[in-house]
């Protein structure tokens, strides 16, 4: 009986490398922080005729040379970045036929927070003050609050304590608020201002209405 030997002359097919952030996105990220952990995911990479055996993780900083920062069999990697710069990432996968492919590129732009000084002021006073009111209404003006490099986006007026209920605070989220009195009252009010980066400051005022 004759023996038939089957010879497979089909060429091996290279793998396909796919890189995503761990949250599944592929879009560029801009991060404002002192440091950031970049989580990279190459698990969507595939090979139709064999397994992927290795993942070579590469980084480029500010359009410089590509450098390998990790090489393993793991399809995920992370990188802690601290310097303010533009970081690019890619992964090179290799299969059991020693064929390789390079993935798409992901970019992370790291910006350090702006050094900022924010000062809350009530009626242009940044110190805790005591003022007298002898009328129906007393204006609380927070527009004198300042920041050095950012913009104030939130004003929050809250009553800390009051000796009676003979008051009402009006426009508690505006830059200017009003205390409306219906009788005698000593009231402590706090202004909190917050800028567009989340920096904040507070100042208190005691208003005595008699």
Average pLDDT of adjacent 10-residue blocks, the chain of 210 residues:
59 95 94 91 96 97 94 96 94 97 97 84 85 86 91 95 94 96 93 89 93
Predicted local distance difference test score (pLDDT) of residue 47:
96
Q: CB under 8 Å to 101, separation ≥6 — which residues?
A: 14, 15, 16, 17, 45, 92, 93
Separation of alpha carbons 209 and 135, rounded Å: 7
Please tell me whether residues 132 and 188 are part of one structural domain.
Answer: yes
In a domain, 202, yes or no: yes
Please tell me whether residues 26 and 107 are part of one structural domain.
Answer: yes
Separation of alpha carbons 125 and 122, rounded Å: 5
Pairing of strands 167-170, 137-141: unpaired
Boundary-marking domain end, from 66, 83, 111: 111
Q: CB under 8 Å to 198, separation ≥6 — which residues?
A: none
Please tell me whether residues 90 and 126 are part of one structural domain.
Answer: no
Please tell me whether residues 83 and 135 are part of one structural domain.
Answer: no
Domain that holds residue 128: 118-209
In a domain, 137, yes or no: yes
Residue 167: which of 184, 149, 190 has the closest Cα? 184
């Amino acid at each position: 009986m004759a023996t038939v030997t089957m010879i497979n002359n089909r060429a091996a097919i290279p793998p396909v490398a796919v890189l995503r952030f761990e949250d599944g996105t592929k879009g560029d990220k801009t991060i404002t922080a002192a440091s950031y952990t970049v989580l990279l995911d190459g698990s969507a990479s595939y090979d139709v005729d064999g397994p992927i055996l290795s993942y070579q993780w590469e980084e480029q900083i500010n359009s410089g040379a590509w450098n390998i920062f990790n090489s393993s069999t793991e399809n995920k990697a992370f990188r802690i970045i601290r310097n303010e710069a533009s970081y690019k990432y890619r992964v090179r996968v290799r299969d059991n036929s020693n064929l390789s492919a390079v993935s798409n590129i992901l970019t992370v732009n790291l910006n350090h927070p702006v050094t900022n000084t924010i000062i809350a002021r009530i009626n242009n006073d940044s110190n805790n003050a005591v003022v007298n009111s002898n009328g129906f209404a007393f204006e609380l003006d927070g527009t004198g609050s300042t920041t050095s490099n950012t913009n104030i986006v939130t004003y929050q007026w809250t009553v800390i304590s009051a000796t009676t209920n003979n008051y009402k605070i009006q426009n508690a989220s505006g830059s200017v608020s009003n205390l409306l009195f219906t009788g005698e009252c000593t009231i402590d009010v706090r202004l909190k201002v917050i800028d567009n980066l989340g920096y904040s400051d507070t100042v208190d005022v005691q208003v005595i209405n008699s």
